[in-house]
Structure 1
Amino acid sequence: MTLNSLLIAGCIALSLTACQDTITHKQNVELVKASNTAIESLANMLQIQYEQVDNRPSEYCDKTIENGNCFEAKLHIKASGAVNVDGWKIYFSQITPIQQALSDEFTITHVNGDLHVIELKEAFKGFKAGETKTITFYANFWSLSHSDAIPNYILVNHNEYAKVITSTKPTVDPETGLELLPHVVPYSDYERQFKRTENDETQWLTAERLFERNTKYDFSPYLKDENKQVAQHIIPTPTQATFSQTQQLDISQGLRFNLNGVSEKGVTAAIERLKLLGITTSASGIAVNLNLSPTKDGSQGSYRLAINANEINISATDDSGVFYALQSLASLYQVNNTTLPIGQVNDAPHYEFRGVLVDVARNFRDKAFILKLLDQMAAYKLNKLHLHLADDEGWRLEIPSLEELTDVASKRCFDLSEQQCLMPQLGAGIDTSSQVNGFYSVDDYQEILKFASARHIQVIPSLDMPGHSRAAIKAMQARYNKYIKQGDKQKAEQFLLYDPLDTTVYSSVQHYNDNTINVCLDSSYEFIREVIEQVKIIHNEAQHPLTRYHIGADETAGAWVSSPACTEFIKQNNLPFTKAEQLGSYFIERVSNMLADMNIEIAAWSDGLSHTNPNNMPDIVQGNSWDLLMWNGHQRAHQFTNRNWQVVVSSPDVLYFDFPYEADPQEHGYYWASRHINTEKVFQFMPDNLPAHAEFWLDREDKPYTADDTIIKNDAGEVEFAPLAKGKQFIGIQGQLWSENTRTNNMAEYKLFPRLLSLAQRAWHKAQWALPYDHNGFVYSRNTQRFTPSLKQQRDQQWLTFAASLGLKEFNKLERANVHFRIANAGAKIENGMLYANVAYPGLLIEYMQAGGQWQTYNAPVKVTQDVWVRSKLPISGRVSRTLKVTQP
């Protein structure tokens, strides 16, 4: 850098105020401009690498946190040219707080949430050209995946001029379409980098291990011309279906729909999907007669489908049943084919609630993404979209009367005051127009609602409270400041969500110290009422009534303890408690009844609901049970169901789709409940019998666990948990896509699909192989073996048919809809100089490449002489899976 730049930067480092006596205004402007230019240059010059080193606890770990578990990582900072300027710092996101950093020249401090800052010590000596400086740090818990290393480090000067360091920006793999993190050093050491603890038995799913696992799949019968199983297979599986083995209906002339009084609005979306897949409509086409009439089952969504020699007849209890029958027709259809199997289908859903949660709060997903998702949910008969619209990192729905919610809290940039935007948590960067930022206008949201209605899907909005509410709190703080400046104190305090005098020190699960609405302020409840009334109006105008609302109510982290407002609130109100810690349950009860008075049913997460008094809650309560099965999570689900609450099973062990598909550090996602949830595991789920999974699933370290479903009493001899009472059942299941590290639409679709199809299978269809629930109670483990070899054989055989249908039928349909689903990796091994490869779904191509060579199609074992890489490939689009290396033995 030039001497002038150094003088300028030095002056700014000291503060511009100190230079005012000698610098004119014009010079001051030039100083600022030059300093900002220096930051831009430095952002391009610094090369940062993140290296996870060791998950094993060491002497540097805080012994008071999770048994002293912490991991060691290194930040390598290299400068391509000489750097002599100081007065800068780097903000970056790190999932868990850093306990301490070891460096002679840098410090690392936790700011809030996942945000940390690297600052220069007085001993900082600058960089020589090409020099690398390393900061070793120790952070809470473990780091087990490349995606833990959050991108977009932000370089800042004393003017708060910010620039993302180029070397830390994510990129997109042009072949897979997946996000890449070039600043992450790849893992190589199983013992130090991949294991959670010394006793962790999770195996890295290498190409060789994947090959061995894939050998259990024999798809050869499904590839024979005479095999009818795939052609006659419907996803999700119907209650009853019988097809001819010899007759087919020719639909080459298209279809002709006779509505017979069925609402055209209720079936148009299904007919449009048939067109997308290649089935035309024509006046001379095969007649499809739609009728409303009672079905044998009679439940909502039930239907009868008859494909005859010269026509197709559909009868259903309601419009949704007709719609689902048409989707079953689409499921039978094979892209580029002109026939349908002749047969009869009688069908009805197993669960009333068949849901998907999409978190658009942490990282935004645009309207087009949601509309595409709704189309695919409808295709597989899912009927509830739980739209998570607000959290600590963002507010995503326009509320016309509270413009600050979207003006401030829908975007992240660099603003320490957080009066213009939120700080860039989760590696959001500083570009307010990036795809991780944004919100749905009223028009956008109403378009989503109308689109959902046309597909018989209910949208259940969620604006999390009282925890997970930092975005709202900061927005209302900005509103407060605006009106205080205008001298309108009453309006400023109208919707204030925090007590300015509260000195409580707390840390949420996501490490925020200011993310919980103060439940002792009248203004907090005024805010909630205003928001809900506005959302209700928006829904009504879209003719999609707001009948159920999810308040979240989870993970409230010890706030309000030192709030004067809460001390006074408890004194002034006749409450059945005296401790501020108990105010969380009061809040849930009060808001639940507020909603009930507005004819809105309450939904919330199980941990928050568990603290409430059932006698103070409304008659209808939806509880999302997200307690871990490996830690007796079934007990809470049974407890809530036994008190007549509507339980939606949302078990993280199997239904959190932000978790990795496989145990591989390159597989994207969080993993706190499971290291691997692939599509087959979701298919294996028996949601009617939660504890029984202990017989064949493992815990988060791939070790056996025990599930106790007997009567559990507390110290006072009172029954705390008991088996599910006879006649009681869950209302449904829900798959969750949380978005903390999901920054692109492609990554979101990759995580959802094809797992969403297995979710639909389990939500709609009760498997015959599923182990019946024992209402007498039982303690399940690997040793009990109630899930017999015969049931396992039935399950695994049905998975083969399901997987064959995915590979040979459904993947083509997802491609037609431009869905970026996950392509399964190819497995491979080298034995006696020969490469053997396989893949978990038929219909996918396999390719291999030797070092320095080109990709070649794998058809049979082939001789190789050096290390090899393998991947699978879609035959139509050519999109490929991630690449796995196969090592010469």
Structure 2
Amino acid sequence: MRRLFTLLLLVAVNAATVLASAPAFDIKKLHLSWEVLDNNYQNKHVSLTSMVIANNGAQTMPAGGWKIYFNSSRNFIADAVSGNAKVLQVNGDLYSITPNEKMKEVKPGESIRIDYVCEAIVVNFTDAIEGPYFVWDADPAKGYSPGDFIIKPFNPTYPGLITPEILYNQNKIVQDIPASQLQKIIPTPVSYQENSGSFIVTNAITIVSDPLFAKEKAYFINGIEKLLGSKLKGGSTGKKIIFKKDTGLGAEAYTLNVTPNDITIAASTPAGLFYGIQSFKTAISASPWMKPQASIPVPCMSVKDEPRFPYRAVMLDVARNFQSKQQVLKLINLMGVYKMNTLHMHLTDDEGWRIEIPSLPELTAVGSKRGHTLDSKGFLPASHGSGPDFSNTAGTGFYTRADYMEILKYATERHITVLPEIETPGHARASIKAMDARYQRLMAAGDKAGAERNLLRDFNDKSDYRSVQYWNDNVIDVSLPSTYNYIETVVGDLVSIYKEAGAPLPAIHFGGDEVPAGVWEKSPAYLALKASNPAIQNTGDLWYYFYGRVNDILKKRNITLSGWEEMALRKTLVDGKSTYVPNPQFVGDKMQVDVWNNVLGDGQEDLAYKLANGGYKTVLTCVTNLYFDMANYKSWDEPGYYWGAFLGIDKFFSFIPYDYFKNADVDKNGQPINRNIFIGKQRLTDYGKTNIIGLQGALWAETVKSPERMDYMIFPKLIGLAERAWAKDPTWATERDTTKAREMYNADWSKFLNILGKRELPRLAYYNGGYNFRIPKPGVIMEDGKFKSNIQFPGMTIRYTTNGKEPDANSPVYEKPIPANGIVKFRAFDAKGRGGNVAEVQNKQDTAM
């Protein structure tokens, strides 16, 4: 009888399992689309948006038993306006849509829509939701991507919208300068004199080099042979290229002298010689990069040069969205060309851990993968549209030890230091969840001590918080002794990797930004530490305790502690109000701080100057001028965030490091600035100037999911960054007469844009396989019944169509105004025939009819 009961029970369980299994409906037959219905919904600063689910299959989609998950950086009102679903935040940027009893089934060929409200307006296409996927209630561990997902075009009418007419008027100040009159070297040298005549490079030249520059000589020969299309034979012409040691020059200084018979590059260090080689390369026209040439003319010139700032950096976020090793090498290559010397790699964050740490394999086994999970026990959840599985290479990936060493060696050959960033104590969800998994594995193996050794949170901590990116479990508990075991372990492995690669590791960046209010307050570990340590009176004191201990760990290894601005601040009261001041505790430790927060109108415009005046070695990473990931301007077709500024290449070029208030002209919304916001703000003192060690351009990668988008966001802005980091202060930066300063600026701006359009970008279209740099949209205006067009970069080709199709490389070239009949589309093309965004215009009288 007992056996029969058991058998009947098993049959019942199996039957229930079958009934509860996911429906045999093919999610791939669904077509999803997203659109904006009303960008001023109910006359509020919110948007009504819609997801449409179309059934392209032969089966009926059930009305319930499923959820849709998606990612978004925005907040939503929970109850759908359509009344058929609820939109709820899961954690971070992950949301769910759950149908209710009003949802209807979707028969073949039919569709349903879910209308919901976003608590902000939509500005550009990267505001759309990302990566929607389905999960059946009966199979909650598995996610299914739909057949496709599209974002429908939207024509917004918000204030500050940049139109083709506005672009035309902006471009009008750009003078067309003949290529022969353009400076041949960028960034601008300290002293530049172009002379008559040329040195002709052929494979018969001889290379003479001081032994100090053996590696640079090999680098030079490899590059020049590619341009010539043949190996160097040497000797037959008597013409020489000489690499000369000159101990009288500074560490990164060089001289370059070109005569018809020889080229001499002199420097005191290999780095200086390398920069001289880069100037030699940029002095050559773009032609050899397009196709090898047997003889290459180099204009005769005399150049003396050295950098303005010793620290010239690019920060690359590979944690939010991953970039391949090959793409990182491409960036390093071009950084070397424009004399940048530091690659700050943001390797870890809430959404990913991207470097192999052999001593803690869970960091990549768990932290480098994103897919559908609600507990993050085996991997991280979908973020930034990475979807339900590991196939998305932007969401899942990491650098093996060998990969990272290859990056280090490649960078070191180009005199670029790679600064690793390990985010702590906030932005640390990937590491926290990885160490949770390690804890569970070792506890299951009976190793309690090992399990607890690198734990990053107290399981009994009931603190309630939300980070800026909406995570509620992303902050390391700095009260735990195991936190410092973890840091010791990570630092030890990094030191080993750098040592084996033969790469310098002068500093490690430990983040420190955006730790939310409420953390640690209910942590038993914090309460125990507070009871035993008189220096800990509140959770604010944990900040100094934590970074003091991290600093001690690094000092033992002669490594400098680097971090974001919050690391160097102390919370205090002024007239009873909470404020931050430079923390005197760490001033003598030569810490390096990257300062991003100077959002115009938010009250911290002078923070970088406060810290520099207070004694901290400060790197300007200002969001107003140096963030690559900010959208170029307010337009639907321009990707990127815009919470800090709209930021085109002009913001990089116009940046004045010692007085960035001076050229501030618009606020974070792109509206004319009220200069009263600078009243009472600290100016940079002469002492403070000595603490500004350099500039850094930052690419945060939430919206950057491919190498093409990475190129688009960084280039050619990087050249503007290089100009400001290397070249001396231009005259317009210090001129007190505002009218004269503007005239000087406009002249320099025209020269710079002509150099880009006629020299640099034609080369970058082909150099190193070619870069997907941003090609600007043409400006267009209607005058006398005709459309006139211009472009930001003189030298680019504008093409147009009048048949409604998008212009391509075979469309007519714009040479004179076009009759304003119907819809006309204009598009700019680079030297390789690659096109940019389309400017579409129509005679307003036509639309009125």
Q: TM-score, normalised by structure 1?
A: 0.86
The residue aligned with 1:844 is: 796
Out of 442, 447, 458, the position equivalent to 1:499 is 458
The residue aligned with 1:800 is: 750
Out of 94, 97, 103, the position equivalent to 1:118 is 97
Aligned AA (2:75): P
Aligned AA (2:419): I
Matches within 5 A, 1:245-284: 246-253=196-203, 255-278=205-228, 281-284=232-235
Matched, 1:885 2:835: no
Aligned AA (2:638): E
Matched, 1:188 2:149: no
Question: Are 1:262 and 1:290, in contact at CA under 8 Å, matched by a contact in 2?
Answer: no
Aligned AA (1:869): K
Aligned AA (2:174): Y
Out of 134, 137, 159, the position equivalent to 1:155 is 134
The residue aligned with 1:164 is: 145
The residue aligned with 1:750 is: 712
For residues 55 and 484 of structure 1, the distance between their equivalents in structure 2, rounded to whole angstroms, comes to 54
Matches within 5 A, 1:605-754: 605-611=564-570, 613-616=583-586, 619-628=589-598, 630-631=600-601, 633-675=604-646, 677-694=647-664, 696-706=665-675, 721=682, 723-726=684-687, 728-729=689-690, 730-754=692-716
Question: Are 2:131 and 2:384, in contact at CA under 8 Å, matched by a contact in 1?
Answer: no
Matches within 5 A, 1:420-439: 420-436=378-394, 437-439=396-398
Matched, 1:454 2:409: no
SS at match of 2:731: coil
- Alpha-carbon deviations, 1:597-622, whole Å to 9, x = none? 22110111113321273224652111
What is the Cα deviation at residue 824 of structure 1?
A: 1.5
For residues 478 and 35 of structure 2, the distance between their equivalents in structure 1, rounded to whole angstroms, comes to 41
SS at match of 1:265: helix
SS at match of 1:101: coil
What is the Cα deviation at residue 681 of structure 1?
A: 2.4
The residue aligned with 1:569 is: 529
SS at match of 1:652: coil
For residues 727 and 567 of structure 1, the distance between their equivalents in structure 2, rounded to whole angstroms, comes to 39
Matches within 5 A, 1:804-843: 804-816=754-766, 817=768, 818-843=770-795
What is the Cα deviation at residue 654 of structure 1?
A: 0.9
Question: Are 1:97 and 1:114, in contact at CA under 8 Å, matched by a contact in 2?
Answer: no
How many residues matched? 801
Deviating more after overlay: 45-54 vs 620-629: 45-54
What is the Cα deviation at residue 318 of structure 1?
A: 0.9
For residues 537 and 639 of structure 1, the distance between their equivalents in structure 2, rounded to whole angstroms, comes to 36
What is the Cα deviation at residue 128 of structure 1?
A: 3.9
SS at match of 1:35: coil
For residues 184 and 218 of structure 2, the distance between their equivalents in structure 1, rounded to whole angstroms, comes to 24
SS at match of 1:262: helix
Question: Are 2:63 and 2:104, in contact at CA under 8 Å, matched by a contact in 1?
Answer: no
- Alpha-carbon deviations, 1:663-707, whole Å to 9, x = none? 2121000000112x222221111112222223x444434221326
Out of 236, 239, 259, the position equivalent to 2:187 is 236
Aligned AA (1:325): G
For residues 549 and 511 of structure 1, the distance between their equivalents in structure 2, rounded to whole angstroms, comes to 27
The 3 A distance-change label for structure 1 pair 37 and 830 is farther
The 3 A distance-change label for structure 1 pair 705 and 604 is farther
What is the Cα deviation at residue 78 of structure 1?
A: 3.3
The residue aligned with 1:216 is: 173
Out of 486, 496, 520, the position equivalent to 1:560 is 520
The 3 A distance-change label for structure 1 pair 562 and 52 is farther
Question: Are 1:624 and 1:648, in contact at CA under 8 Å, matched by a contact in 2?
Answer: yes
The 3 A distance-change label for structure 1 pair 656 and 287 is same
Matches within 5 A, 1:419-568: 419-436=377-394, 437-558=396-517, 559-568=519-528
For residues 591 and 80 of structure 1, the distance between their equivalents in structure 2, rounded to whole angstroms, comes to 57
The residue aligned with 2:270 is: 319
Matched, 1:414 2:399: no
Identity of aligned residues (%): 30
- Alpha-carbon deviations, 1:728-776, whole Å to 9, x = none? 331000000000111001000110000001110100002332433xxxx
The 3 A distance-change label for structure 1 pair 50 and 787 is farther
For residues 722 and 863 of structure 1, the distance between their equivalents in structure 2, rounded to whole angstroms, comes to 53
**For structure 1, which runs of at least 5 residues remain unmatched after alignment?**
1-18, 60-68, 169-182, 196-201, 713-720, 773-784
- Alpha-carbon deviations, 1:394-421, whole Å to 9, x = none? 0000000111111111010112232221
For residues 263 and 256 of structure 1, the distance between their equivalents in structure 2, rounded to whole angstroms, comes to 15
For residues 866 and 282 of structure 1, the distance between their equivalents in structure 2, rounded to whole angstroms, comes to 61
What is the Cα deviation at residue 639 of structure 1?
A: 2.0
For residues 62 and 340 of structure 2, the distance between their equivalents in structure 1, rounded to whole angstroms, comes to 59
Deviating more after overlay: 307-316 vs 624-633: 624-633
SS at match of 1:585: helix
Question: Are 2:804 and 2:824, in contact at CA under 8 Å, matched by a contact in 1?
Answer: no
Question: Are 2:613 and 2:688, in contact at CA under 8 Å, matched by a contact in 1?
Answer: no
What is the Cα deviation at residue 834 of structure 1?
A: 2.5
The residue aligned with 2:122 is: 143
For residues 457 and 867 of structure 1, the distance between their equivalents in structure 2, rounded to whole angstroms, comes to 49
Deviating more after overlay: 752-761 vs 90-99: 90-99
Question: Are 1:267 and 1:322, in contact at CA under 8 Å, matched by a contact in 2?
Answer: no
- Alpha-carbon deviations, 1:254-289, whole Å to 9, x = none? 643211223322454354444445586441463111
SS at match of 1:510: coil
The 3 A distance-change label for structure 1 pair 422 and 629 is closer
Question: Are 1:497 and 1:523, in contact at CA under 8 Å, matched by a contact in 2?
Answer: yes
The residue aligned with 1:97 is: 75
Out of 73, 79, 83, the position equivalent to 2:55 is 79
Aligned AA (1:570): K
SS at match of 1:218: coil
What is the Cα deviation at residue 161 of structure 1?
A: 2.1
For residues 727 and 883 of structure 1, the distance between their equivalents in structure 2, rounded to whole angstroms, comes to 45
SS at match of 2:421: strand
Matches within 5 A, 1:305-454: 305-336=256-287, 338-436=296-394, 437-454=396-413
What is the Cα deviation at residue 129 of structure 1?
A: 4.2
For residues 754 and 615 of structure 1, the distance between their equivalents in structure 2, rounded to whole angstroms, comes to 40
The residue aligned with 2:814 is: 858
Q: TM-score, normalised by structure 2?
A: 0.90
Question: Are 1:144 and 1:665, in contact at CA under 8 Å, matched by a contact in 2?
Answer: yes
The residue aligned with 2:22 is: 35
For residues 318 and 279 of structure 1, the distance between their equivalents in structure 2, rounded to whole angstroms, comes to 30
For residues 500 and 588 of structure 2, the distance between their equivalents in structure 1, rounded to whole angstroms, comes to 26
For residues 859 and 58 of structure 1, the distance between their equivalents in structure 2, rounded to whole angstroms, comes to 45
